[in-house]
Amino acid sequence: MVKIQVALDVVEPDRALTIAKEAVAGGADWIEAGTPLIKSAGMDIIRKLRETFPNHTILADMKTMDVGAAEVEMAAKSGANVVTILAAADDAVIRDALLSAKKYGVRIMVDLISFPDPITRAKEVEALGVDLLNVHVGIDAQMTGVSPLEKLRQLAAEADAEIAVAGGLTPETAREAAQTGADIVIVGSYIINSDNVSQSAEDIRKAVDSNETTKTDRKSKDEEMIEIFNRVSTSNISDAMHRKGAMQGIFSKTPGKKIVGKAVTVRTFGGDWAKPVEAIDISGPGDIIVIYNGDRNIAMWGGLATLTAVNRKLEGVVIDGAVRDFDEISKLDFPIFAANVVPNAGDPKGLGEINVEIICGNQTVNSGDYIIGDDSGVVVVPKERAYEIARRSEEVWKREKRLFDEIRGGKTLAGALELLKWENQK
Ligand SMILES: O=C([C@H](O)CO)[C@H](O)[C@H](O)COP(=O)(O)O
């Protein structure tokens, strides 16, 4: 039977233990002390896991690069059954780690993460005596859309060792991994960032044990991004961008309406509304017109422009400038984000450009960048990094859902985050 390993990639030991109990209740077989957890809590967390789960396989995700024997010894003596060594480590490290593993009765799993030619390396480490390999796409690389499944397919056809697989697995990809030949399916985020850990572990269990064939009609990256951006908030996205991307001084003038789409940019000046309304005619569903107008006290968008935008099924408009006609606009179902509302309009002079780089709310916006607006404000996500930011913001969203749950369960925010422990000591 394929084993399910829950990867405890959290930094708070108490949370790790709670998650581990819930995941085991949902069907996880192996428990991984994740690398961030080991860095935060040291070998003590392995001791605690061993004490709490005397009969489970505990894997210490040491990701050892050097002094293999010593690191294996300390993990083994703390209660681990399996210790990970990086495939990038020198053969001497792996050989010595294997000797130590024999001495202390544990197994070595070689992690092929980021190795340029994992199949060749897998054969080399097998020849050294390794019998447990991990085809692994790390968390940061996953965010750019890399999956471990293709490499797993190749390795399963060539290796004799037991094969583990890790890299953002969900029930669908975990099932595919099991059917492709994985012996151990490692799942972190899907289980540990869930607001129902047991249920999520059970979902993985059922998927891995099922005989159903895997559906291959995957969503395009674009569809996946739009779906994620619709699910998360602008605050989650800004967190994922390390507090960058938020427009300054531009807010929803139609509260409760969220927008997600691609920018059609317009630069114009002092109330000139010719280019903005011309931009409506070259835009369509899913587009958001993003305008820099240079004057926040002369309206360059009003009721007539809004009705035209509604007719062309635009997603919304974001204006570094002013809007008017809210008596009419409030009757139309159209999201407007702007800096100001005034009654006086400018003129259609025709100055400016469409689809050039602009600055809007102090943020650079290029045509095709992703724009997300909600009641907290507007963020711009550069198109080149949009997929990665979408995936990272989903992780932020999941973590917050989990925190909400813990606070509902009686914890305080400071307690849930162990704030005192993690205050900056500098
Ligand atoms: O090993 C892991 C990663 O490098 C962080 O330590 C994860 O445990 C592994 O990737 C599984 O987690 P998900 O990819 O989030 O499923």
Per-residue pLDDT for the chain (426 aa), expressed as one digit of tens each? 999 999 999 999 999 999 999 999 999 999 999 999 999 999 999 999 999 999 999 999 999 999 999 999 999 999 999 999 999 999 999 999 999 999 999 999 999 999 999 999 999 999 999 989 999 999 999 999 899 999 999 999 999 999 999 999 999 999 999 999 999 999 999 999 998 999 999 999 999 999 787 666 678 889 999 999 999 999 999 999 999 999 999 999 999 999 999 999 999 999 899 999 999 999 999 999 999 998 999 999 999 999 999 999 999 999 999 999 999 999 999 999 999 999 999 999 999 999 999 999 999 999 999 999 999 999 999 999 999 999 999 999 999 998 999 999 999 999 999 899 888 888
404 and 283 part of one domain: no
Ligand 1 pocket residue status of 167, Cβ below 6 Å: yes
Final residue belonging to a domain, choices 203, 218, 233: 218
Q: Whose CA is nearest to atom 2 of ligand 1?
A: 138
Assess whether the C-beta atom of 233 lies below 6 angstroms from ligand 1: no
3-state helix, strand, coil in the chain (%, to 5): 40, 25, 35
> Is 403 found in the same domain as 352?
no
248 shares its domain with 265:
yes
- Please give the residue range of the domain that contains residue 379: 225-387
For ligand 1, pick from 139, 392, 395 the residue to mutate: most ligand atoms within 8 Å of CB. 139
| Lookup: tokens for 196 | 């129902």
Q: CATH code at 366?
A: 3.50.30.40
Instruction: Tell me if 274 sits within 8 A of 351, measured CB to CB.
Output: yes
Kindly state if the Cβ of 169 falls inside 6 Å of ligand 1: yes
Q: Rounded to an integer, what is the distance from CA 412 to the centroid of its chain?
A: 25
Residues 328 and 382 in one domain: yes
| Protein residue closest via CA to atom 11 of ligand 1 | 188
Does 200 sit in the ligand 1 pocket, CB within 6 Å? no
Instruction: Please tell me whether residues 69 and 126 are part of one structural domain.
Output: yes
Residue with the smallest CA separation from ligand 1 atom 6 is: 35
- Same-domain status, 62 and 96: yes
- Cβ–ligand 1 distance for 112 under 6 Å, the answer no
- pLDDT digits over 197-225, tens only? 999 999 999 999 997 876 666 788 899 99
In the listed set 218, 233, 257, which residue is the last one of a domain according to the structure?
218
Does ligand 1 have an atom closer than 6 angstroms to the CB of 399?
A: no
Q: How large is the ipTM?
A: 0.98
Which residues, 6 or more positions from 302, have their beta carbon under 8 angstroms from its beta carbon?
A: 323, 324, 325, 328, 329, 345
Answer yes or no: do 412 and 267 share one domain. no
Q: What is the count of structural domains for the chain?
A: 3
Q: 229 and 348 share a domain? A: yes
Last residue within a domain, chosen from 218, 251, 270: 218
CA 152 to ligand 1 centroid distance, Å = 16
